[in-house]
Structure 1
Amino acid sequence: VKEFGDPSVLKVAKIAIPKPKAGQVLVKTLAAGVNPVDTYIRAGKYARLPTLPYTPGAEACGVIHEIGPDVKDLKVGDKVWQKGSITGTCAQYNVCTAQDAIKLHDKITSTAGAGISIAYRTAYRALMQTGQARPGCNVFVHGASGGVGLAAVQIARAYGMRVIGTASTEKGRNLIQKNGCHVALDHSQTDRKAYLEQLVKATDGKGADVIIEMLANKNLNFDMGAVARRGKIVVVGNRGEIDNVNCRMLMMREASVVGCMIAGSTEEEEAEAISAISGGLASGALSPVVGETFPLEDAPAAHVEVIEHKHGSAGKIVLCPFSGEAE
């Protein structure tokens, strides 16, 4: 990316393969995750912007190709998922710190591995650390068929919670039920009163103890009517300002709205999340769902899809830098 702007600024270019320095590794990128935040950065509408030109992407799955000095726990050939990158993951090779390369079980495909970092770390932080959800509570995942939503559904179900999720298409609702939702609702329905009644019924009249909200600017007012007494609405996504918010519903329920970003995690919280996610992946309780995959040259289309979801959200959007090598 040589200039900030619409998806057309994403161009494929040939550059030298970067070299890892001390404490770093070079990863052959088999698959890279695409996230809404990537589009905000590309458009120049994010609080922290990279220096131009830059290569997008901060999560991926690949194979260690070279290690720098002072790297002890990784070796060439190790399959890893990445939770960060120094040079950008939307490339055939990228450099990251050794701490940001997490060994991955061979049973996890590279495309699925590219969907771990942002989705599962965000979902775990929102649900377990910020929302403080516990076994037996009612969890409402508002927008459950995307990467973060499906991760939240799987984590909540693995921890013994009752999970209600939403999706705008029948395909999406079938998908979220397959991944652990006890109840799947249609958040695109125009009768909002009926929609709220369905949710209340699904929670035995109590409302949701924890709501994971993917689009607060559209749904926060609804959530305030759906949250349980002393429940929490955890905002992980927002794309605009909110008009006509009436906080009386929060007052009546003594409920709270709290924002959530993985960037706010302490080292201890980050280590906890990585351990929980790694354990879930190893046991099979957690299994990333891949939606559409795109070749690297179709990155502009991937950036459009991750925002617009023209046919409904259904898993993680992934770029594959090497044609035919990502499984």
Structure 2
Amino acid sequence: MSQRFAIVTVTAIGQKLAQQIAAVWPQPVTIYAPAKIAAPTTQSIARGTFTTVVQDLFKQVDCLICIMASGIVVRTLAPVIEDKTTDPAVLVLDERGQHVISLLSGHVGGANQWTTELATLLAAEPVVTTATDTEQVQALDLLMKQLNGWYPEFKRNTKWINGLLAAGQPVALYIEPYLRTYVDQLHGFTVVADWHELPSDTPTVIISDRTVFPKRAQTVQLIPRCNVFGIGCRKNVTIAQAQQAWLEFCQQQNLAWQSIIQIASIDKKAHEPALHYLAATFNCDLTFYTAAELTAAAEHYPQSAFVKKTVGVGNVAAASAEVASGQQTITPRFASQEMTFALARLKQLEK
């Protein structure tokens, strides 16, 4: 997914640095500077509008790079800062480009990562003060970002687990083997290979899209959004049928519904309210494919002559899940309530 970057500077020297950054940054960057110094390729900030422009950019971009004193940035943005889960990354540089400071939204917003990347490009000194980073341990909210995931009571659990990790206290972790490829490192955690062996008296993080784990105090389950749900159905299937079939499938597969990132089907079912209801209920994307787009994937699964005659391809659920995810399904064919379901796991996670 393309991200939006903006650089704001207040001096001519800073503008030259901004142009240097824009020339080497891997994604498009828009530069803003006061009208009296703005170059032809720079967006000019009219006299008296600096605060308004910067605050508006804060609400519009994914990363705001400020080449100026950090005090100016803090005072300007203070009224619009809301929450670490939604605020964009804010980086601050001196106009000589000697230091790159991760000022705001270090983990979830990506400021720490972009600070490191920008400092490398400029041969500058990265300044990252997040405790888990200075102690060189993984952070729970950074894991969540890498896995495009979810866990309950975000602020409380983030503060609790990250505080323990930064202090060098033991935190046990179990991650499903098939999810390990999505995570770059787990420094600071005590990784347990078998979840049955997790200690009952130690703070614990479980990374899984399943619901097989007993509820225990001091345990946080991080659920990655890694699964694509393929659906085939009869014409005019009801919402009640969809609800019941979904419940049966999740119970059969011990599936955490929060792990679904996308629902996929054939375009001939695009008018079915039940499919739109499921996507809206579980806050996931809904994608439809033509029979031609599904044909090659359908060859990997049992096909129905009736379904092929009706919609043009002999398997809808599994073929849709495979096309959407880029990988073959991980569950057998499931049929209930005049619906068929299949699950596939994303090859790469969206972040």
Q: What's the TM-score, normalizing by structure 1?
A: 0.30
Q: Which has the larger radius of gyration?
A: 2
Q: What's the TM-score, normalizing by structure 2?
A: 0.28
